[in-house]
Structure 1
């Protein structure tokens, strides 16, 4: 039986006094954690949770959030971590879609919870933060409901950068397969002390909670990513593993309080979710030479890891640093054309994959599920190619490819050139309408602090590094940071809007 909750009973028996989770002043052993999860499950069942019913949770990272997710599974339900960064109308839309029976909410979101309770008929009960501890104390621990295998464990809504968010059904087996695939490569074990600072409504952060729990390791929980608390936590708790997106890594390196000594306990940093520039990666390797770096590629629909680039390939000047590594064990990846015909090595096409980590499907979207999983392959919508050693190179989202004068231009290649300019802090590249070329390459560039950016020098910098037809035809200097999604991906759709509004072909 492949169950995400069964192991909690095991750690209650064999690691009862070992520290499971630290959240500020709250410190829980595995015995404490198991008892609280089982008690919370009894409360959920008393409030109407039956097999397969949804428990939605709205709150930033905390011991309560992790307990609620496992409590939902223990009670026989499906956990739905909601994106707390969404506006209330967006949360209403998501809850109308997933129809939760129960909503667990932190104090910061009590107003949204009140609105959701009023406008979403399925919500029969709301548990607020101020009642949480008394409810856990009053609960009588119940036995694990025993959901497992192909039963849905989590309903995770995709970030919505490309349109209306979709609920992705992730099963117990999906996440255990992902754990097994990654454990063959990542240096995780029962001694792992993992920092959780990424939003747990996103699977790129949540799978690490699942994996460390399956190992009986230790969770260190921060509400959100903030530079100084992260640096302090790594030093205080002797963190051995952490996950960051490129914007986080840059912020840590730029902190005046960053030192190698503060981060000397780190043995593994995994990074991904958005492209990383060569410049930033070189800075990270130089700053943390003793820490293993692992770049991951994946998506919610694949539970999520597809490939990993290991520390052996993280060497300055290695051309494979531009790849996202090789497929993890248990995942088969291919490159295909628009007709799903296999493409030869070195040819750009759609990345397609299959394996035990592929989602059960999209919640209540059977037609989209069938289309995405047609032919037994997950169609990612990402464009990439393989080299001769099976390293996968992501060149773009298929929708982000710029077609200018019949030439295919991949935005990340241009962004990588611009990012290496000494005065550039951030950049985003996309196509804008052009009467002559169809689309023209446009760059939005954020200068470093206290720098007057010369766009002519940016253009010259690009021409020295990439073909002239790939260089931006226009450069827009932006003084505020680029807009980011809930998982710190640049929201190119919002940057494109003013250019594509009213156009017959709108790629945003």
Structure 2
């Protein structure tokens, strides 16, 4: 019987792709690769070190680092012991946010990069449950505390290797005890409107989501990506790290700059170096790519700019919503000329993104329909998906598969998930009717960490209630229209989704770029 956990996924991939390059990290002058076997060995050494320090199944180990090869080795090292990884966002700015997560998770161990050390060092005296710290990179030197002990990454790997050599059965016993329903990660919501909630995802949650991702995106291997998204998020975990692990493919980490802005500025250069097959993006990143492309076209000017604009105009006309292309008399005349122009323009656009890019996948929130049409017209589709951290995270997506792309939608459902659009009384609604998106399946979280009331509130009658509004259309595509908590109430008591109205106004008015609707909620 196939094991549906991340340890089995790692071992299966190492058997298939042992000496293939898996991770690529900038070493100061160029990208250097680590093979599947090298990451596997490092993870086992990390696990040996953790076992030597007394980690037990179910213990939490926090992980705070920018994307790098050691990030993957550290997380799988935690998994191999039966521990729970607590990946933390490097974008956390305030001490209160970071302190809350470390305290709430009761993390016994902290693995932190030297770049993130300063923001954690000031918290150590307030974390009595913390037993030791591992530094990825340079040791910080002297500190103003004696406990917990600090270990450098190289010392961890050396001590772990020695422990595994002297205790050959310990690690084997630990990883054999890890079941598919055991917790793998404890990740936190942003906490922008309330106290952050800890989302517990199991090994099976991730395993089935990886299976679904690879069902929807079938590409010849190996393929490549620059993983720009925060690695602590489940989207980067599933669609990035674990999906590429399963497919024997290559992940490049963004070259870190001296500042956050410096790191962002390295992205265009790194894209040309890694030459991704596809990119995982959020709306802001896709919009940034569009602005950059348009700026270069405007600077070129002349006949080239006119051809570019004509290509976009014709593409938007003939493609329709991509599911229903247009074949009226004028479109039939335009089609061959459009395809010829697109072939020329698309090659130039893709060259600026490394040369072999085929598409992008957008998550996090919805990309404007105008942007989706624009990229599709240029032959570089952006496939919008939908999901939540609580669902591991991807639930649906557009893709390059036949009849799997409809502009404006969040795509078709993944095989391992069931959906029900429900009314206010949790009764199912037919296609075309807007209601709350509720979900069921092996991708749905175990629950919220130490928060039974929040778990019970979201999990009702076997369905996870997302709080999102949407509908299924007759072709099987999911459309998200807004959030229940954002509904505007009119004077007649009718409820309206501001997101849908704002989207319509910005998509259909060339003068409006951003808009916010307001209602005093006092009908």
In structure 1, which of residues 276, 301, 308 is the aligned counterpart of residue 390 of structure 2? 301
SS, match of residue 343 in structure 1: coil
The structure that is helix-richer by fraction is 2
SS, match of residue 461 in structure 2: helix
Q: C-alpha offsets along residues 259-280 of structure 1, whole Å, 9 cap, x if unaligned?
A: 3313331133110221221221
Q: C-alpha offsets along residues 380-426 of structure 1, whole Å, 9 cap, x if unaligned?
A: 1101112222221111011112112223222222322343444555x
Point out the more displaced range, 166-175 or 223-232: 223-232
1:261 counterpart = 2:361? no
Report how far residue 228 of structure 1 moved: 4.9
Q: Which residue of 1 aligns with 2:335?
A: none
In structure 1, which of residues 408, 420, 440 is the aligned counterpart of residue 495 of structure 2? 408
The structure that is strand-richer by fraction is 1
Report how far residue 160 of structure 1 moved: 2.1
CA contact (8 A) 1:50 1:75 kept: yes
Q: Which residue of 2 aligns with 1:193?
A: 224
Give the whole-Å Cα distance in 2 for the aligned partners of 1:401 and 1:184: 35
1:218 counterpart = 2:255? no
CA contact (8 A) 2:204 2:442 kept: yes
CA contact (8 A) 1:170 1:359 kept: yes
In structure 1, which of residues 244, 249, 271 is the aligned counterpart of residue 281 of structure 2? 244
Q: Which residue of 1 aligns with 2:110?
A: 103
Q: Which residue of 2 aligns with 1:365?
A: 451
Go from structure 1 to structure 2 and tell me whether the alpha carbon gap of 1:285 and 1:229 turns closer, same or farther (over 3 Å shift): farther
Q: Which residue of 1 aligns with 2:21?
A: 19
| Gap regions ≥5 residues in structure 1 | 439-508
Q: Which residue of 2 aligns with 1:283?
A: 374
CA contact (8 A) 2:489 2:519 kept: no
In structure 2, which of residues 61, 65, 68 is the aligned counterpart of residue 59 of structure 1? 65
Report how far residue 357 of structure 1 moved: 0.5
Report how far residue 314 of structure 1 moved: 9.4
Report how far residue 190 of structure 1 moved: 4.1
Give the whole-Å Cα distance in 2 for the aligned partners of 1:305 and 1:91: 26
CA contact (8 A) 1:117 1:126 kept: no
CA contact (8 A) 1:414 1:429 kept: no
Give the whole-Å Cα distance in 1 for the aligned partners of 2:518 and 2:54: 50
SS, match of residue 184 in structure 1: helix
CA contact (8 A) 2:109 2:130 kept: yes
Q: Which residue of 2 aligns with 1:48?
A: 54
Report how far residue 300 of structure 1 moved: 0.7
Point out the more displaced range, 104-113 or 149-158: 104-113
Q: Give me the TM-score of the superposition, normalised by structure 1.
A: 0.79
CA contact (8 A) 2:502 2:517 kept: no
Q: May I ask how many residue pairs the two structures share in their alignment?
A: 430
SS, match of residue 413 in structure 1: helix
| Gap regions ≥5 residues in structure 2 | 139-151, 165-170, 297-347
CA contact (8 A) 2:421 2:429 kept: yes
In structure 2, which of residues 466, 469, 472 is the aligned counterpart of residue 386 of structure 1? 472
Pairwise mapping of residues 114-153 of structure 1 onto structure 2 (< 5 A)? 114-129=121-136, 130=138, 131-140=152-161, 142=164, 143-144=171-172, 145-146=174-175, 147-153=178-184
Q: Which residue of 1 aligns with 2:307?
A: none
Q: C-alpha offsets along residues 116-136 of structure 1, whole Å, 9 cap, x if unaligned?
A: 321122111111232223422
Go from structure 1 to structure 2 and tell me whether the alpha carbon gap of 1:239 and 1:325 turns closer, same or farther (over 3 Å shift): same
Q: Which residue of 2 aligns with 1:450?
A: none
CA contact (8 A) 1:400 1:430 kept: no
Pairwise mapping of residues 477-488 of structure 1 onto structure 2 (< 5 A)? none
Give the whole-Å Cα distance in 2 for the aligned partners of 1:434 and 1:306: 32
RMSD: 2.4
Report how far residue 107 of structure 1 moved: 1.9
Q: Give me the TM-score of the superposition, normalised by structure 2.
A: 0.77
Report how far residue 367 of structure 1 moved: 2.3
Q: Name which structure has the greater RCO, CA cutoff 8 Å, separation 6+.
A: 2
Q: C-alpha offsets along residues 335-356 of structure 1, whole Å, 9 cap, x if unaligned?
A: 1112111122222111011011
Larger Rg, first or second structure (1 or 2) = 2
1:345 counterpart = 2:435? no
Go from structure 1 to structure 2 and tell me whether the alpha carbon gap of 1:56 and 1:37 turns closer, same or farther (over 3 Å shift): same
Give the whole-Å Cα distance in 1 for the aligned partners of 2:17 and 2:409: 39
Go from structure 1 to structure 2 and tell me whether the alpha carbon gap of 1:354 and 1:92 turns closer, same or farther (over 3 Å shift): same
Report how far residue 236 of structure 1 moved: 2.0
Q: C-alpha offsets along residues 40-93 of structure 1, whole Å, 9 cap, x if unaligned?
A: 111222233211101101122111222211111112211011122221111111
Give the whole-Å Cα distance in 1 for the aligned partners of 2:516 and 2:439: 27
Go from structure 1 to structure 2 and tell me whether the alpha carbon gap of 1:11 and 1:348 turns closer, same or farther (over 3 Å shift): closer
1:431 counterpart = 2:518? yes
Q: Which residue of 2 aligns with 1:374?
A: 460
Report how far residue 188 of structure 1 moved: 4.6
SS, match of residue 201 in structure 1: coil
Pairwise mapping of residues 433-452 of structure 1 onto structure 2 (< 5 A)? 433=520, 438=523
Q: Which residue of 2 aligns with 1:499?
A: none
Give the whole-Å Cα distance in 2 for the aligned partners of 1:228 and 1:103: 29
SS, match of residue 110 in structure 2: strand
Give the whole-Å Cα distance in 1 for the aligned partners of 2:12 and 2:419: 35
SS, match of residue 191 in structure 1: coil
Give the whole-Å Cα distance in 2 for the aligned partners of 1:434 and 1:15: 58
Go from structure 1 to structure 2 and tell me whether the alpha carbon gap of 1:331 and 1:11 turns closer, same or farther (over 3 Å shift): closer
Give the whole-Å Cα distance in 1 for the aligned partners of 2:453 and 2:253: 38
In structure 2, which of residues 249, 271, 280 is the aligned counterpart of residue 234 of structure 1? 271
Q: C-alpha offsets along residues 458-483 of structure 1, whole Å, 9 cap, x if unaligned?
A: xxxxxxxxxxxxxxxxxxxxxxxxxx
